Amino acid sequence: MGDLEEQQDELLALESIYDSSVLSIINEADDKGGQFDAKPHLPEPFYIQSDPIEKGCHSKEDNLQKIQYLPPVTLNFQLPIDYPSTSSPEFTLTCKWLTHKQLSKVCKRLDELWEENTGTVILFTWINFLHEELYDFLQLSSPLDIRNIVSNRTGKSVTTSSSSSVIDKSCDLRCIQDIESQDWLLVAILDYDSQMKTDVFNKSVFLCNVCFQTKPGSSCFQFNPCCHIFCRECMRDYFEIQIDDGNVQGLICPHDKCESEAHPCQVKNLVPEEKYSRYDELLLSLSLDMMMDIMYCPRRLCQCPVMLEKDCNIGQCPSCQFVFCRLCKLVYHGLTPCKLKANELKTLKDEYENADSEGKKLLEKKYGKRIIEQALEESITREWLENYTKPCPACGFHIEKADGCNKMTCTKCKNYFCWLCGDSLSRTNPYSHYNIKGPCTNRLFEGMENEFDFDDPNFDWF
């Protein structure tokens, strides 16, 4: 069999073994070659160690990132005319996260494999080594330290700790670091890991725990960090109901006792545009409500968010220029305590009595101690009047019954009225009210049993 036939058969065999997502073949008469993306198998769990992402990270654990996938080591190969009888395939190795020294070591190993199998097809052996044995061959381990990986773009020099460049003659020119700079390495790895997780998820099949139907991953929705999975159709209906009800905090995982929340980006990709617009507005409004230095303009036709200065009770709307008090939301009144309506005194009294120390200080600052004391006093007075007096039906003046019968005389307007039913009595014969048929018949002296014995034959009625 000639070289060209062996090349043809080898490329066809590789295409039948590997998926097109990792292997691409050029199989033309005068141009035969291809590319293979070797994806080493990583142990679980697997971490990479990088520079701290946030300031203040000092321990080793602060700069560890958990991943499942590393970007591939790419083998580009070209088959010469006299392969495999005489010449080895021409190749380059491309990788983002291996150093030039490590890539050179791999190149040397590929050369050794060819020397051990000269005269026979070698591509499958190379590919199998890169795919299955690379991790152990380079003695990689978790966490993988990716600091100081990227050397100068020439591929012929490395950067030392003193930031000076020296020529490293051990580097193979067939090695290519496919990354712009060290600063972009972590981002590239995390982006690839995220994309691979998405691809694997979309190709998998899951059972929705709402409708109990089996759906492909591309039709499913996953909450993080709980990883509970439901179909997109069920979650879309669920989210739309919550948004219509104004419950933007209710977009949580429906799994029992799970509190994972949907990310706004997930909501945007799931619900119609008009629903997301409402969700976004409600979410912004909720966030502003939780900010102590933000409040809305009190004018109903404005409602523009207003930034308030710390420890300052005055606010000015940037839209309508309305100047108001942040405490009572009325026109700013300077050092004068906030005005309080009479019917709000009882509410203020209840709120003050149930508040903690910080709440009481805020109410005292808002209304002033004098108003608080007035609310407490008026509440006590009102409760006493309700329990021990009754208003005159003619003038409304409160009358206290100390003793005597149920025919009362208003001390203010001299009107007669019944203590039991509150009705006004006749000016000429007020006692007739207790003789005629009605709810107060024979009840003139009701409530006086402890003072008088009405069954005593010697009791003088009149």
Domain annotation covers residue 319: no
Q: What angle, 0 to 180 degrees and rounded to 10, lies between the N-to-C axes of helices 273-289 and 232-244?
A: 50
Q: 408 and 384 in one domain?
A: no
The helix (H) or strand (E) run that includes residue 166 is strand 165-167
Dihedral sign for Cα 241, 247, 251, 256, please.
negative
Domain annotation covers residue 407: yes
Q: 188 and 118 in one domain?
A: yes
Q: 216 and 168 in one domain?
A: no
Q: 259 and 210 in one domain?
A: yes
Q: Give the angle subtended at the CA of 328 by the CAs of 326 and 329, to the nearest 5°.
A: 60
User: What's the rounded Cα separation, in Å, for the pair 138 and 102?
Assistant: 7
Q: Which domain holds residue 445?
A: 400-462
Q: 258 and 175 in one domain?
A: no
pLDDT in the model for residue 375: 67
pLDDT in tens, 4-40: 899 999 999 999 999 888 999 988 878 889 999 998 8
User: What's the rounded Cα separation, in Å, for the pair 300 and 103?
Assistant: 68
Q: 263 and 212 in one domain?
A: yes
User: Radius of gyration (Cα) for the chain, nearest Å?
Assistant: 43
The pLDDT-based confidence of 357 (bands split at 50, 70, 90) is confident
Q: Annotated catalytic residue: which of 171, 297, 405, 413? A: 405
3-class secondary-structure state, position 102? helix
Q: 285 and 243 in one domain?
A: yes
The two beta strands, 144-145 and 46-49, are parallel
Domain annotation covers residue 408: yes
3-class secondary-structure state, position 46? strand
Domain annotation covers residue 361: yes
Q: What is the average pLDDT across 148-169?
A: 48
User: What's the rounded Cα separation, in Å, for the pair 375 and 346?
Assistant: 7
Q: Decide: 246 and 284 in contact? Cβ < 8 Å.
A: no
Domain annotation covers residue 89: yes
Q: 164 and 67 in one domain?
A: yes
User: What's the rounded Cα separation, in Å, for the pair 223 and 210?
Assistant: 14
Q: 35 and 140 in one domain?
A: yes
Q: 144 and 19 in one domain?
A: yes
Domain count across the chain = 4
- Say what the pTM is: 0.56
Q: 228 and 252 in one domain?
A: yes
The pLDDT-based confidence of 104 (bands split at 50, 70, 90) is very high
pLDDT in tens, 44-96: 889 998 865 444 444 455 578 899 999 999 999 999 999 999 999 999 999 99
**Beta-carbon contacts of residue 147 (< 8 Å; ≥ 6 apart):** 49, 50, 51, 182
Q: Decide: 115 and 126 in contact? Cβ < 8 Å.
A: no
- Whether 171 sits among the annotated catalytic residues: the reply is no
